[in-house]
A and B are shown apart, each in its own frame.
Chain A
């Protein structure tokens, strides 16, 4: 900016004036400038002053400052702000200097001329000085007191007066004497500067314009900015730092147009109003009534119905065609031969509707199947499973990976140990081994064979320890569950033989011998005596209990005293329970339907007795003599075997169609799981006493081992995992594995084959 320069100039000027006026400082206050003579000289001085001012661009600068402040505009406001700030600062300094100068000036005036100064001149002088001061501040110009205070009155009113108006003190300002026209003309002609002189009527004086002022006027006439230094195209300096501001902050005042109604909107409204008046825009168009409707009702997607989750839309019927008409064209009517052919067809294959022709609507008979169909419909409603079918696969709506639906079964490795390989075979039988039974310690195993022999083997080495030979095929062997009571129950034909294995200690032997000695037999019930008789066994020194029918299955009570025998007879005679210590036999107190297949004593609940007939499994409480407390619906064709989990709540049932059912007896009377593994009859199923294992063996010469974990948490379902298929037995005379039993302490499985071999599968 030019500010600096102007300041420097200012200082120069002040220096000059100071030089002039150093000498007389003191007299300025005392002297009274009153003389009118001195006007001229003071005028000259003024000129000089003015000239000096024109030399420097001091005046211009002050003007520009005032102009700027006048032209104060929102557009340039920004750039002006700090500049004006500086200006005022500088101004303050200047003004203080000016004060000094003022005094100096006054003094110099007096000093130089040495004359009294006219009050007017003094005033003028003061006004000049004031102008100088005013140049610094923007508003000071207004404060210049009018020399003529007559006010805004037509000057004609003073035409005839001597004075033209009044000064600030109320004194009359006298008119100057009028010059002659000629004189003035001559003066004008003489003075080259005369064209710049303007007569100020109001103050009655001539004002001579300076060069700068004339230039300023010229620029104004051109329509430019009055000050020469003003740059209308100054580079734009943004007043706001946008860089790291978060909010769009603007201190610009709300423009006025925001508060006044929009003209454009008014125009638009007018346009709409006209359109409405003319009828180009219409409101409230009446909705058209659809003149077509579904004859059979809207059954596709009724909102009301489909809101319910369980709503199943009925299947859509085919719409009736021409042939369903009461009077169809002749080509729809089947010929006589076709009708005869329809008659020969099966009802399922026959077309549902055979077109008929009636001459008139009146002659149509009532629908013959109306009653039947309404009945069927009712049946449908009654039997319809209210479950939405979710089809799985590529064509289904819901795309589920079928693999993901497979149950997540634990890996077989984690379920070890389980029997998987056969290392030991027990060979010696000459016929199919029908039954095996390990003793409770796991040291021995007894087996019965179709060749009529019962053998005891040493599990560890496969050595046959004892052989008993009978005349008939052995059906079943069962080792007494008590560890200190090593006796065997063997079912041979109609006889149930209790054998002493002579494996216990001497004391145990004594007890056994005592037990097996039949003294005077207690009185049996008549009904019992008719079907069972207790006899001593001559050949092997045990007890022989003769039954009226062939015994198929023998089972010991876990306490080792009671023994149940199953015969193929109905009602109360199919199952008898012998009490060894009393040498007594009881019939089942309950009548039973169907032929019993096998029985089980509940492992934990004393009185509970489970009987499997060919179709069902029933649980009885022997102590209460009631009807079955539970009936398990197997859904199997023919049950062949069953086994109970040592916990007592889970039961597996094997059937002759190769299916095995797992029952959770607490949960339901229906099978929890049905496993279909064997292609042929299951001959036996078994649970392990301590490991979570169960097995099934079948006529297809294989045995399956499963992991069957029962959780103590009742909410958790048993975990069933197939583990291993045990092969190795060969089929002889169409029979495979006839029996399987777990080792009581090791995770090993004994299988008895029709190939007269017993195998031990170890982990």
Chain B
């Protein structure tokens, strides 16, 4: 089986399989390839098998692990026999294929939310929130804050005609806006808040909405996490906190609300906590050792916690693992603080991270190397999010919102 190739290198019998749909489905037959091919070579072989009009980049998996070196090295490293016919699964490479036009802001873009497929919501250091329907076209400007906006969130993006959004600002308030999406036109509409949520004693760092949009949760420099009602009451413009979670000893930098009664938060006191919403108690306390800036929950069973902070390492914890707070994955290709990390909403393996080194990296849990690096930003990246499942939206200190699209995640 194992013979010598023409140029003296070994050859391997492989079979390419995929879960992709027809244009990318290669005929299932054994192919003999030299063992020293890399991912690029494999990709060109598959492309030649497929006879596509436009070449397509692929990523290759052997036994659930992405190939990131030459095939020979990989087999050696993993101790896989090269004598039987190898089954190589290929997927479309996770990399942005298109860079959309940047959307220029007046100041640093500090927050972005891409959870609605119709819009992109951004927050800016000039105190204005913006809603973009497509790259470069700002439809609404949310005004009212006297300080820089630190975080934005769609509260209710499902509503047909109006969308509710929440913004958090360094002026210690949160504001809720109702945006009428029916209006269309070239001119941008200025929207004022229908509700101002006061109660934090210091800058609000993060805001997140509950699934159904009834409540928002915010975290602040005053070490507290507040829950607020979003319902519109005619009588008063300002709202007060429904509950306050106290437990963190330093700035609570980020919160996520993945399920109805669970809130995850991370703080500069080096901990990630899980809060039980009905009781207000923290049920989990992961100690990290570094000040944390961002946290997200996702992955396998929406149970893995990813977080990053004051060092260039993106860490993934599995809180289901008993007795340990050591991260199960550590990705350390960045060179500066991590400002944002987000799980892909449908994939168990993919997540992105943004860093002050100006790069956004896409990660797959199945390999320790980044899948791709987006370094379109010229300064720190302050926020990033997935949009529509195949794009990455990010804002940074270069005052631009950048959208990298065409990322195929199966």
List A residues at the B interface (Cβ < 8 Å).
417, 423-424, 441-443, 460-463, 505, 745-746, 748, 762-763
7 pairs, A vs B, C-beta closer than 8 Å: A442-B251, A443-B202, A443-B251, A462-B356, A746-B291, A762-B310, A763-B310
Chain A residues lying within 8 Å of B382, measured Cβ to Cβ, are 461
Q: Which 10 A-B pairs have the closest CB atoms?
A: A423-B336, A762-B310, A423-B337, A443-B221, A746-B291, A745-B250, A505-B201, A505-B172, A441-B221, A463-B108
11 additional contacts (CB under 8 A) given A423-B356, A441-B251, A505-B172: A424-B337, A441-B221, A461-B110, A462-B380, A462-B397, A463-B125, A746-B291, A762-B290, A762-B291, A762-B310, A763-B310
Q: Which residues of A contact B239 (CB under 8 A)?
A: none
* Contact across chains for A762 and B311 when beta carbons are under 8 A apart: yes
Identify B312's interface contact among A423, A441, A748, A763, CB under 8 A: A423
Interface size class, chain B:
20 to 34
Residue of B nearest to A421 (CB): B311
Instruction: Give the residues in chain A near B380, CB-CB below 8 Å.
Output: 461-462
Query: B169 an interface residue at 8 Å Cβ cutoff?
Result: no
Closest to A462 in B: B380
Mask: chain B, 188-215; 1 = CB below 8 Å from A; 0 = not: 0000000000000111000000000000
Indicate which residue in B125, B148, B310 contacts A746 across the interface (CB closer than 8 Å): B310
Query: Which residues of chain B have a CB within 8 Å of any CB of chain A?
Result: 108, 110, 125, 148, 172, 201-203, 221, 250-251, 253, 268, 289-291, 293, 310-312, 336-337, 339, 356, 380, 382, 397
> B339 — nearest CB in chain A belongs to which residue?
A461
In the assembled complex, the Cα of A442 lies from the Cα of B203 at a distance in Å of: 12
Task: Let me know if B203 and A443 touch, CB within 8 A.
Answer: yes
Measured between beta carbons, the chain A residues less than 8 angstroms from B289 are 417
With the chains together, A443 CA to B204 CA distance in Å?
12
A443's nearest neighbour on chain B, judged by CB, is B221
Q: What's the least CB distance linking B254 to chain A, in Å? A: 11
Nearest CB to that of B108 among chain A residues? A463
B397:A461 contact, CB within 8 angstroms: yes
Least CB distance, B310 to chain A, in whole angstroms: 5
Decide: A423 near B251, CB < 8 A? Known: A443-B203, A746-B291.
no
Contacts known (A417-B289, A463-B125); A745 close to B337, Cβ less than 8 A? no
Please determine whether B356 and A424 come into contact, CB atoms closer than 8 angstroms.
Answer: yes
**A417, A423, A746, A763, most chain B CB atoms within 10 A:** A423
- Taking A443-B203, A763-B290 as contacts, is the C-beta distance between A746 and B268 under 8 angstroms? yes
B353 to nearest A CB, angstroms?
Answer: 15
User: Using Cβ atoms and an 8 Å threshold, which residues of chain A touch B310?
Assistant: 423, 746, 748, 762-763
Chain A nearest CB from B291 CB (Å) reads: 6
Among residues of A, the one whose C-beta sits closest to the C-beta of B309 is: A762
* Interchain nearest-CB distance for A673 vs B (Å): 30
B-chain residues with CB within 8 Å of residue A763 when the two chains form the complex: 290, 310-311
- The residue of chain A having its C-beta at the shortest distance from the C-beta of B310 within the complex is A762
Complex: A463 Cα to B126 Cα, angstroms: 12
Expressed in whole angstroms, the minimum distance between the Cβ of B308 and any Cβ of chain A is: 12
How near does chain B come to A242, taking the closest CB pair, in angstroms? 70
Distance to closest chain B CB from A726 (angstroms): 16
Task: State the main secondary structure of chain B at its contact with A.
Answer: loop
**In the assembly, what is the distance between CA of A83 and CA of B250, in Å?**
108
Instruction: Give complex CA distance A461, B108 in Å.
Output: 10
Of B253, B290, B291, most buried by chain A (CB within 10 Å of CB) is: B291
CA distance A441 to B123 in the complex (A): 24
Chain A residue nearest to B311 in the complex (CB): A762
Q: Bound complex: CA of A505 vs CA of B311, how far in Å?
A: 31
Instruction: Provide the bound-state CA to CA distance between A460 and B268, in Å.
Output: 10
CA distance in complex: A175, B108 (Å): 170
Q: What is the minimal beta-carbon distance from A488 to any residue of chain B, in angstroms?
A: 17
Cα separation A441 to B172 with both chains bound (whole Å): 15
Give A762 to B310 CA distance when docked, in angstroms.
Answer: 7
Q: Are B268 and A745 in contact (CB under 8 A)?
A: yes
| Chain B, residue nearest A422 (CB) | B336
B268 lies within 8 A of A424 (CB):
no
For A417, the closest partner residue in chain B by CB is B289
Q: Which residues of B are found within 8 Å of A460, using beta-carbon distances?
A: 253, 293
Distance in Å from the Cβ of A122 to the closest Cβ of chain B? 120
B199 vs chain A, min Cβ distance (A):
11
Closest B residue to A484 by CB, please name it: B201
Residues of B within 8 A of A423 (CB): 310-312, 336-337, 356
Complex CA gap A619/B85 in Å reads 83
Which of chain A's residues have a CB closer than 8 A to the CB of B251?
A: 441-443
A250, chain B: closest CB distance, angstroms: 76
A441 contacts B337, C-beta separation under 8 Å = no
A423 to B202, CA, bound (A): 25
Whether B202 and A441, one on each chain, are in contact in the complex, defined by CB atoms closer than 8 angstroms, is yes
Give min CB distance, A744 to chain B, whole Å: 10
CB-defined contacts of B221 to chain A, threshold 8 Å: 441, 443
A505→B221 CA distance, assembly (Å): 13
A62 → chain B, closest Cβ, in Å?
102
A505: B residues at CB distance < 8 A? 172, 201
Contacts of A417 in B (CB 8 A): 289
Give, as a whole number of angstroms, the nearest-CB distance from B237 to chain A.
Answer: 16
- B residues in contact with A461, CB < 8 Å: 108, 110, 339, 380, 382, 397
The CA-CA distance from A379 to B22 in the complex, in Å, is 105
How long is the Cα–Cα vector from A525 to B339 in the complex, in angstroms? 55
Minimum CB–CB distance from A257 to chain B (whole Å) comes to 88
CB distance from B354 to the nearest CB of A (A): 12
Residues in chain A near residue B201, CB distance under 8 A = 505
Residue of A nearest to B201 (CB): A505
Q: Which residues of A contact B397 (CB under 8 A)?
A: 461-463
Q: Which residues of A contact B202 (CB under 8 A)?
A: 441, 443
Neighbouring B residues of A462 by C-beta, 8 Å:
356, 380, 397
> In the complex, what residues of A have CB within 8 A of residue B250's CB?
442, 745
Report chain A residues within 8 Å CB of B311.
423, 762-763
- Complex Cα spacing A232 to B339, Å: 117
> In the assembly, what is the distance between CA of A744 and CA of B365, in Å?
36
Question: Nearest chain-A residue to B291 (Cβ)?
Answer: A746
Taking the nearest CB of chain B, how far is it from the CB of A67, in angstroms? 100
Contacts of A762 in B (CB 8 A): 290-291, 310-311, 337
B336 touches A424 (CB 8 A): yes
Chain B residues near A745: list those with CB within 8 A.
250, 268
Q: Output the least CB separation between B126 and chain A (Å).
A: 12
CB distance from B135 to the nearest CB of A (A): 24
In this complex, the member of B148, B310, B339, B397 whose beta carbon has the largest number of chain A beta carbons within 10 angstroms is B310
Residue of A nearest to B269 (CB): A745
**Shortest Cβ distance from residue A357 to the other chain B in the assembled complex, whole angstroms:** 86
Q: Smallest distance from the beta carbon of B381 to chain A beta carbons, Å?
A: 11
Alpha-carbon distance A463/B339, docked complex (angstroms) = 14
Tell me the minimal C-beta distance from B340 to chain A in angstroms.
12
How far in angstroms is the closest Cβ of chain B from A507? 10
Which residues on the A side are within 8 Å of B110 (C-beta)? 461
In the assembled complex, the Cα of A191 lies from the Cα of B250 at a distance in Å of 149
A748 to B148, CA, bound (A): 25
Complex CA–CA separation, A763 to B289 (angstroms): 9
Question: Nearest residue in A to B107 (C-beta to C-beta)?
Answer: A463
Q: What separation, in Å, do the CA atoms of A587 and B291 have in the docked complex?
A: 44
CA distance A443 to B312 in the complex (A): 20
Nearest-neighbour CB distance to chain A for B194, whole angstroms, equals: 21
> Which residues of chain B come closer than 8 Å to A443, judged between CB atoms?
202-203, 221, 251
Give the distance in Å from the alpha carbon of A460 to the alpha carbon of B125 in the complex: 14
Residue of A nearest to B172 (CB): A505
Q: With the chains together, A762 CA to B335 CA distance in Å?
A: 13
Which of A417, A424, A441, A460 has the largest count of B CB atoms less than 10 A from its CB?
A460
CA distance A308 to B100 in the complex (A): 92
Q: A748 — nearest CB in chain B belongs to which residue?
A: B310
* Nearest Cβ on chain A to B248's Cβ, whole angstroms: 12
Q: Chain A residue with minimal CB distance to B289? A: A417
Distance in Å from the Cβ of B229 to the closest Cβ of chain A?
22
Q: What residue of chain B has the Cβ atom nearest to residue A460's Cβ?
A: B293
Q: Residues of A contacting B339 with CB < 8 Å?
A: 461
A36 to B201, CA, bound (A): 162
B290 → A minimal CB distance (Å): 7
